Amino acid sequence: MLIDTYGRPATNLRLSVTQRCNLSCIYCHAEGERSPAAEISLEDIREILRVAPKLGIRSVKFTGGEPLVREDILEIVKAVPPGLESSMTTNGILLGEYARPLKEAGLSRVNVSLDSLDPECYRDITGKGRLSEVLAGIEAALAAGLTPIKLNMVVLHGINEDEVEAFLEYVRGNRDLILQLIELMDLGSCTSHAEIDRLEDDLAARSKIILTRRMHHRKKYCVDGAEVEVVRPKHNTEFCAFCNRIRVTSDGRLKPCLLRSDNLIDIRGKRGAELEALFREAVRIREPFYH
């Protein structure tokens, strides 16, 4: 198992397969990447997925950009070996087309980025009027069994923070839908950071059950049949203290921490024992961004 010098095991791999996207979200932080070079190859991805379980990695999440714009995305998913859980974060626009093939290729579940249920607000946030396609994609994912589906709502001050109740109603009564309220990270130019202390206090007051997830010590609230998680990475020592992730950038470099770009390790073209050693080195230099 990969364990850093702070005693944190790295068991979750986040693999960015592209920085291309069919939306232009105002808050996008591009997984902390800066000016990526050529996209990581299918051959490199296959080798990473072959080696990862040998190092104690138990799950992989494909991210982007938008993963579904890669023409070989189904081949990428098929490369996941047995025993390694696979999921994907997508904006959902192409999910209506891909949900069933993704499930057949072996994908377990999806997270869908959805910041508004109002068409005009959705367009303001993403730059595109494609909300209906996203909602259809969610329905297709439910039908295909890519569940539970987590809906990622980045809470934006003065833009969508008044829609939380509408989102609760959207997921209420459906155990295959989980709402994730995400604090805006100041990695880009968006200045609409919303203080979510009051929001989380309200959820806590209304919840009959409050659970603490092992990952990041994240709170999960059960509010009148709606399941909600609050993701607070900003200035959050617990988020860092319990981080179990190691990242691969879309151009093929190991990234030990989302919030740092000065310690990347190039793994393009690396194979076998050499690749394993580079994974170990990346985990060795991991450290909490917030202490």
pLDDT tens digits, one per residue of 147-188: 999 999 999 999 999 999 999 999 999 999 999 999 998 666
Distance (Å, whole) CA 125 – CA 117: 11
Average pLDDT across the chain, whole number: 93
For residue 192, what pLDDT is reported? Answer: 86
Q: Which residue has the higher pLDDT, 125 or 38?
A: 125
Radius of gyration of the chain (CA): 18
Q: Which residue has the higher pLDDT, 216 or 179?
A: 179
For residue 259, what pLDDT is reported? Answer: 86
For residue 35, what pLDDT is reported? Answer: 61
User: Would residue 81 be called left, alpha or beta, if left means φ above 0 and alpha means ψ between -120 and 50 degrees?
Assistant: beta
* Six-digit token string for 187: 């990695």
Distance (Å, whole) CA 58 – CA 3: 14
Residue 214 in this model has a pLDDT that exceeds 80: no
Handedness of CA 200, 204, 210, 212 (dihedral sign): positive
What average pLDDT does the segment 86-108 reach?
98
CATH 3.20.20.70 fits domain 12-284: yes
pTM above 0.85, yes or no: yes
The pLDDT tens digits for 1-50 are 899 999 999 999 999 999 999 999 999 877 767 666 689 999 999 999 99
What average pLDDT does the segment 86-105 reach?
98
Q: Which of 151, 163, 184 is nearest to 117 (CA)?
A: 163
Residue 84 in this model has a pLDDT that exceeds 90: yes
Handedness of CA 34, 180, 110, 284 (dihedral sign): positive
Residue 101 in this model has a pLDDT that exceeds 70: yes
